[in-house]
Amino acid sequence: MNAPPVWLIAGPTASGKSAVALELARETGGEIVNADSMQLYADLHVLTARPTGAEEALVPHHLFGIADAAVAWSVGRWLGAALDALAGIAGRGRPAIVVGGTGLYFRALTRGLADIPPIPAPVRDAVQAEYDGLGEAAFRDRLARVDAAAEARIARADRQRLTRALEVFESSGRSLTDWQLGTVPILGADAWRGAVLTLPRAELYARVETRLSAMVAGGAVAEVEELLARGLDARLPAMKALGVASLAGQIAGRLTAAEALAEAKAETRRYAKRQITWFNHQTPDWPRVDADAAAAGKILRQSPP
């Protein structure tokens, strides 16, 4: 008996992934698994455009709002939770729809995840201090001397992944790229089918701006106020979610409401552009589909696993 299919739906922010996943799940009796690193956090419902309660009531949803903002989830921790969710869904004989915009999550599922030893705190602190002292350009030069492939593929301004790559080398003596070359896929090649949602750039940016305006109108500022009131470390992933810094500037009086919204929109457009670039480079063989839920679902089901 064949295992139920696993469909992977990726794409940039505001491309309509959640609607496609919901429609596909309703049509097939499937269950949805989150693959967005910020939608994991319970503190960020509005600002991360998590599914609404009404949407979650239509089909089972997994790994949405399960993490506290005080805890930094790694790719490995997500992968373990996702595999547990996928096993449960398969055990119920239902299809799984994994949806999100975090490319490294999809990479971990389809290509594997290196078993890198934990980074000792002194190494992490030393690398973070080195980044602060050197700045990004000089830090990139430093990283390129020990892991040129990682330096080349990590996007501009992605401090988290730049420092992670150097931390791995400094703590293990092996480059991150070397570790990754030894990985094996978690999902077998015949176990899944993926697609990347795409939209014309102007349409995508318009959707980004419309959605951010709706988020602000729907309580995003109050959500950020509650998050800031917790006094969490600014380096935590949840504190780096799109829009948090801009709305924090508004709350502190450094920015007007209009300035904060404009800044958040610009930041999100840049992030969407980086996502598009990542998926173009990392998933060139995945079919590209538009945001029409019926059309996307049809393409995904053409060659089910």
What is the SS3 assignment for the chain? Answer: CCCCCEEEEECCCCCCHHHHHHHHHHHHCCEEEECCCCCCECCCCCCCCCCCHHHHHHCCEECCCCECCCCCCCHHHHHHHHHHHHHHHHHCCCCEEEEECCHHHHHHHHHCCCCCCCCCHHHHHHHHHHHHHHCHHHHHHHHHCCCHHHHHHCCCCCHHHHHHHHHHHHHHCCCHHHHHHCCCCCCCCCCEEEEEECCCHHHHHHHHHHHHHHHHHCCHHHHHHHHHCCCCCCCCHHHHCCCHHHHHHHHHCCCCHHHHHHHHHHHHHHHHHHHHHHHHHHCCCCCEECCCHHHHHHHHHHCCC
What is the set of domains in the chain, with CATH numbers? 6-114+186-199+283-302 (3.40.50.300), 121-181 (1.10.20.140), 202-274 (1.10.287.890)
Which pairs with CB-CB distance under 8 Å and at least 24 residues apart come from 299-302? 299/195, 300/7, 300/9, 300/24, 300/193, 300/195, 301/24, 301/28
Q: What is the tens place of the pLDDT at every residue in 202-258?
A: 999 999 999 999 999 999 999 999 999 999 999 899 999 999 999 999 999 999 999
Question: What was the pLDDT predicted at 299?
Answer: 67
Question: What was the pLDDT predicted at 13?
Answer: 95
Structure-token match 């173009």, residue found: 280
How many other C-beta atoms lie within 10 A of the C-beta of residue 88?
A: 15
Q: Which residues of the chain have pLDDT under 50?
A: 1, 304
Question: What was the pLDDT predicted at 160?
Answer: 84
Backbone angles phi, psi at 257, to 5 degrees: -60, -40
Angle between helix axes 103-111 and 257-282 (nearest 10 degrees) is 20
**Exposed / middle / buried, residue 213 (Cβ in 10 Å: 0-12, 13-18, 19+):** middle
Six token digits for residue 22: 């919901």
Distance in angstroms (rounded) separating the CA atoms of residues 286 and 195: 5
Six token digits for residue 58: 């239509």
Check if the beta carbon of residue 1 is closer than 8 Å to that of residue 201: no
Question: What was the pLDDT predicted at 244?
Answer: 97
Distance in angstroms (rounded) separating the CA atoms of residues 153 and 216: 33
Six token digits for residue 190: 């015949």
Six token digits for residue 210: 């419309």
Six token digits for residue 243: 């829009």
Distance in angstroms (rounded) separating the CA atoms of residues 277 and 112: 21
